Structure formats: C-alpha cells, structure tokens
Chains A and B, each alone.
Chain A
Amino acid sequence: GAGVSQSPSNKVTEKGKDVELRCDPISGHTALYWYRQSLGQGLEFLIYFQGNSAPDKSGLPSDRFSAERTGGSVSTLTIQRTQQEDSAVYLCASSLGGGGVGTEAFFGQGTRLTVV
C-alpha cells in the first residue's frame, strides 16, 4: 500500500477483555516495529520483526502482550485481559530492512486504545 495502515483507529474496551490491533506495513518492507505512546509521553519500544521472526521483543511489558507477523506482511498485536494502564496510542512502523538499508521508519497513524 501507499503507507502503513493500522486498524482500528480507535478502540474502547472493557477492563479484562482481549483486544487485537492490526498493522499493514508498506509493501516490501521487511522490518516492522510496534511502539506504545502514553498521553504526552515518548515512544516506548515493544517489539521488532524482521520478516516473520521477532529478534527483539524486549519491550513487551508483560505476558499479556503478544505479537505475530505472517507472510512477512501484516502484524497483529494482542493484549489479553486488558488493564487501564494499557490505555495508550499504539504505533506501528515499517522500514525496508536492517543495518544500513532503508533506515527511515514509516509510521501508521496509530490505534488509540482506551480501557474503561
């Protein structure tokens, strides 16, 4: 596609429910990133994919968070048993690859998650 697409744009869920956030990267981009941005804060790294594998998932805050990527393309971030502190904007980004190749990360517009 023309850019990184994330869905839904906004999600309101009840505490304790599971949610799935979707990211569709730019076609041909092998690297994919998930970040979390709490209100007025910076970007907190969650996980990085290269192809379908995740060499760095050090930022996932707890085992309630998981992510997968299939076909080297679409990625899904799943949050189980949501808590109010999970409320944030979840940003997805993609880039051409690792190392010095295509270092610019292109971002989606994010999913604003509100846990009530």
Chain B
Amino acid sequence: AQTVTQSQPEMSVQEAETVTLSCTYDTSESDYYLFWYKQPPSRQMILVIRQEAYKQQNATENRFSVNFQKAAKSFSLKISDSQLGDAAMYFCAYRSVSVGTYKYIFGTGTRLKVLA
C-alpha cells in the first residue's frame, strides 16, 4: 500500500523569505500523481500544485515550485517570497492511476507560520 510522510509538523518563515516543505512517499507504481494542498483556517482545501510522475520537469505555479525526485520518492514544496496569506496547513497527497485505486492518500500535514 502507498504511504505519504510529512516529517515536519510545523515550520516558520519570515515574510518575503523562502521555505521548503518536505514530503516523501512509498509506492511500487511507476505512474501516479502527486499534489500539494493548502488548508487555511477556513478548512477549505485548495490545490497548490500538481506533478505527474512521468514528467521529469518540476511543476511550478507562480511562487510555488516542487522538487520532484522520483528515484528518491521525494516531493518537496518551495514557497518563494512568502506572504502572510501563505500561513496554513499544507498537505502532500498521492494518487494512483491504477484502475480501482483512485483514492488520494494524504500525509499528516505541515503547519506553516509566516512571521511579519
């Protein structure tokens, strides 16, 4: 079975600085999707960025980028020029593409604090 591990329960970053959130996963599959979701205090889960495993190029979305290391099964999120609005829980998630196993598997989350 697949697992997702986020080893940093909490991180802090100064406003305008850069922070990296770590995520590792375990799978025997060769094709899958990886995601970072943000959950602010409103509880609304919002997709931050998505990576397809067969694509070697790291995904980027404005100030958010990932470092996808397939062999190491690592998927870290880098937030550049951190803003106060980035403060939230961040969840790493894995999704299989194998038939019948389309559930998303989430890590335990990292709480990001942004200091003014």
Contacts and interface: CB of A to CB of B under 8 A. Distances in A.
A71 interface: no
A89 B43 contact: yes
Nearest to B92: A42
B89 to A, nearest CB: 9
Most B CB within 10 A of own CB, among A35, A45, A91, A98 = A98
Contacts of A109: 42-44
Interface stretch (A17-25, A48-56, A61-69, A75-83): A48-56
Contacts of A48: 102-103
A40 B102 CA distance: 25
B1 to A, nearest CB: 10
Interface residues of B, number: 25
Interface stretch (B57-65, B79-87, B105-113): B105-113
Interface string A100-116: 10011111011000000
Given A93-B45, A104-B50, A110-B43, A45 B105 contact: yes
Nearest to A108: B44
Interface residues of A, number: 25
A103 to B, nearest CB: 5
B100 to A, nearest CB: 5
B104 A45 contact: yes
Contact of B45 (A31, A59, A100, A107): A107
Given A103-B50, A109-B42, A109-B43, A98 B109 contact: no
Interface of B: 33, 35, 37, 42-47, 50, 52, 91, 95, 97, 99-109
15 contacts: A31-B102, A33-B103, A41-B109, A42-B107, A43-B106, A48-B103, A50-B102, A55-B100, A91-B45, A93-B104, A99-B97, A103-B50, A104-B50, A109-B43, A110-B43
